[in-house]
Amino acid sequence: MFDALLLKTFVTVVDEDGFSRAAEKLHLTQSAVSGHLRRLEEQIGKPLLVRTTRSQRLTADGERLIAYARTILALNRDAWAQLTRTPFQGRVRIGVSEDFVEPRLLRALQDCAAQYPGMVIDVQVNIPGTLLGQMKRGELELVIGSLCESREPGLLLWQEPLVWAWSAQAIVELPTPLPLALFPEPCPYREAALTRLAQAGIAQRTAMLCTSTAGLRAAALAGFAVAPMAASQLGPGLEALEAGLPPLPDAEFRLYTADHADPQMIEAVSRVIVEHCSSRRR
């Protein structure tokens, strides 16, 4: 019989893509996480992960076990929630900004809903300005997104620099007028970029209008346009331009709650989101 604790550690190591992050998520030491995985491998007599100093990947047996482990843990959570007769009933509609949505957040929300069989979580991805407007119209209960220099009330999750993203391989001298890749209105990054360029007297043109972060990245990676982007979104092939361009304000990632939302249900979901963001920031 499999030990549920060992299965949970195994799944967390895979989901968090490493032992150190899994240890933080589970509030265990890294040696304890390693010990759990070693015990699980000893039980089945086969290795589950191939580990190097920089990466890890599932073995063929690990691929088979991870699907069973997720099912076993989900059934465990469902049985617990059913037998404890949770009072939560209803739908929680969450708006998530394009630069925030990621598999780990969605898994955390899925796990939260699994604990409360009466709860249904729907997620909508859009730009923060649009999502906040929907929340004010009663169409969403929660919004997770980033704004710049805003007075909108919301719980600050973290903040980071907003930067001018550009190809690390592109020409050094920027074109005039400056080609930009932007989200449509109402986007806080768009507004901040256009305001700072106007104040600095720098001519610009919208070379590419995007509806996703993938579009912004593609434009910047190709050297087709400069994109205002949160620093954490920079990846291989991109760099933050500084010379010749005005500094941008910080992107403030916040959690916004609707007045009409059920307090108990929202508290449960918000707790999961805050915990996820704390782990993400570390």
Question: What secondary structure, in 3-state letters, does the chain show?
Answer: CCCHHHHHHHHHHHHHCCHHHHHHHHCCCHHHHHHHHHHHHHHHCCCCEEECCCCEEECHHHHHHHHHHHHHHHHHHHHHHHHHCCCCCEEEEEEEECCCCCHHHHHHHHHHHHHCCCEEEEEEEECHHHHHHHHHCCCCCEEEEEECCCCCCCEEEEEEEEEEEEECCCCCCCCCCEEEEECCCCCHHHHHHHHHHHHHCCCEEEEEECCCHHHHHHHHHCCCCEEEEEHHHCCCCEEEECCCCCCCCEEEEEEEECCCCCHHHHHHHHHHHHHHHHHHHC
Question: In a 10 Å sphere around its CB, with 0-12 CB exposed, 13-18 middle and 19+ buried, how is residue 84 labelled?
Answer: exposed
Torsion from C-alpha of 258, 263, 265, 266, nearest 10 degrees: 40
Q: Is the pTM value of this prediction over 0.85? A: no
Give domain limits for the chain.
4-84, 88-282
State yes or no: cis peptide before 87, omega within 30 of 0.
Answer: no
Q: Compute CA 129 distance to the chain's CA centroid, rounded to the nearest angstrom.
A: 18
pLDDT of amino acid 185: 87
pLDDT of amino acid 182: 94
pLDDT of amino acid 82: 66
Angle between helices 19-26 and 4-16 (to 10 degrees): 130
pLDDT of amino acid 86: 54
For the chain, how big is the Rg over CA atoms in Å?
A: 22
Interatomic CA distance for residues 12 and 19, integer angstroms? 9
Angle between helices 4-16 and 30-44 (to 10 degrees): 120
N-to-C CA span, the chain: 35
pLDDT of amino acid 263: 80
Structural tokens at position 205: 């043109």
Chain position carrying tokens 């087709």: 224
Chain position carrying tokens 């059913």: 82
Asked if residue 246 lies in contact with residue 199, where contact means CB atoms within 8 angstroms, the answer is yes
- Top-tier CATH class for 4-84: mainly alpha
For β-strands 178-182 and 204-209, DSSP reports them as parallel
pLDDT of amino acid 281: 56
Q: What is the pLDDT along the chain (282 residues), one digit of tens a residue?
A: 888 899 999 999 998 888 888 888 888 899 999 999 999 999 889 999 988 767 788 999 999 999 899 889 888 877 776 666 555 667 899 999 887 888 888 988 888 888 777 788 999 999 888 999 999 999 999 999 888 877 777 888 888 899 999 998 766 678 889 999 999 888 889 999 999 999 999 999 999 998 888 899 999 999 999 999 999 888 889 999 887 899 999 989 899 998 887 787 888 888 888 888 876 655
Q: Do domains 4-84 and 88-282 have the same CATH topology?
A: no
pLDDT of amino acid 23: 87
Q: Compute CA 160 distance to the chain's CA centroid, rounded to the nearest angstrom.
A: 14
Q: Which CATH architecture has domain 88-282?
A: 3-Layer(aba) Sandwich (3.40)
